[in-house]
Structure 1
């Protein structure tokens, strides 16, 4: 069944690790906002602050692929109501089910360790510092969604819980 699976959460919570594995298990199209935004920056078309451009591009790519019958996994911070509404509108246009998943790390010491030891995996991407993460504008989710706490679940356990929600 074609669906849109959207991961959100602050940097360093484990979103990418989990989203990549879900995409691979489902042979889904994987859209990572960090990669899209970095490509936009490198194109030189926009200033360093790409604003909502990465999300707009990702929603367009998701829509095209959903219409072609592919499941799409989106990996993004998804920090504000507008970005979340954009994903919902994309799923509605394609007439597919959407599963929203917020990845959190409730242990601030572990979260900080992850942020500070991350390795760049996108050319020229400047990773956020712990202070950047603390100061990030992030609006709490009001909409129904799945919350996964990677401070208490291993990636494999988190994936198992997510799969239960996806298959529900």
Structure 2
């Protein structure tokens, strides 16, 4: 199975993906560290590093799926084209895709998380709260099937429930 997270930066996607991985052993393929590595390698910030990171993660995910592994993709996936990428990958590999939209329903908590996070990603720029508008709109317009989880509560409890839900789908 291919599991792809979606949601705004700072909503808790990585926390959910990591908690799922700790419980299941499923590999987490995260787009942001790949993009940060591209920047460290000297790929210019004026280049489409975000697209390159999505494509690199897709290549690794495809390999793992063809080996019969369940894969977790940790990415914003706000744009319909990004979500279509994972749907196409699932079709190509004969697997199912499950989207998990991660939200933080408390705007103040979400903003605090985003503004205080310090990931070890070198020069990779962290988004600012005020820059999330287009992504918010894209996610608000999403009508496709997905599990929606709210990270205001305990992430470990949330992960336990998700494991049950997701393993029942495979």
State the Cα distance separating 1:131 from its structure 2 match: 1.8
State the Cα distance separating 1:104 from its structure 2 match: 0.5
- Whether the 8 Å contact between 1:120 and 1:126 is mirrored in structure 2 is no
- Aligned match of 2:150: 149
25, 41, 45: which one aligns with 2:39: 41
Q: TM-score, with normalisation over the residues of structure 1?
A: 0.89
- Whether the 8 Å contact between 2:27 and 2:70 is mirrored in structure 1 is yes
- Whether the 8 Å contact between 1:4 and 1:72 is mirrored in structure 2 is yes
State the Cα distance separating 1:165 from its structure 2 match: 1.8
How far apart, in 2, do the equivalents of 1:40 and 1:101 lie?
A: 26
How far apart, in 2, do the equivalents of 1:63 and 1:46 lie?
A: 26
How far apart, in 2, do the equivalents of 1:69 and 1:167 lie?
A: 14
- Aligned match of 2:117: 118
- Whether the 8 Å contact between 1:18 and 1:159 is mirrored in structure 2 is yes
Pairing of 1:1-168 with structure 2 (within 5 A): 3-48=1-46, 49-134=48-133, 136=135, 138-140=137-139, 141-151=142-152, 153-168=153-168
Q: Which runs of no fewer than 5 residues in structure 2 stay unpaired?
A: none
Q: Which runs of no fewer than 5 residues in structure 1 stay unpaired?
A: none
RMSD: 1.7
Q: Matched residue pairs, number? A: 165
How far apart, in 2, do the equivalents of 1:62 and 1:74 lie?
A: 8
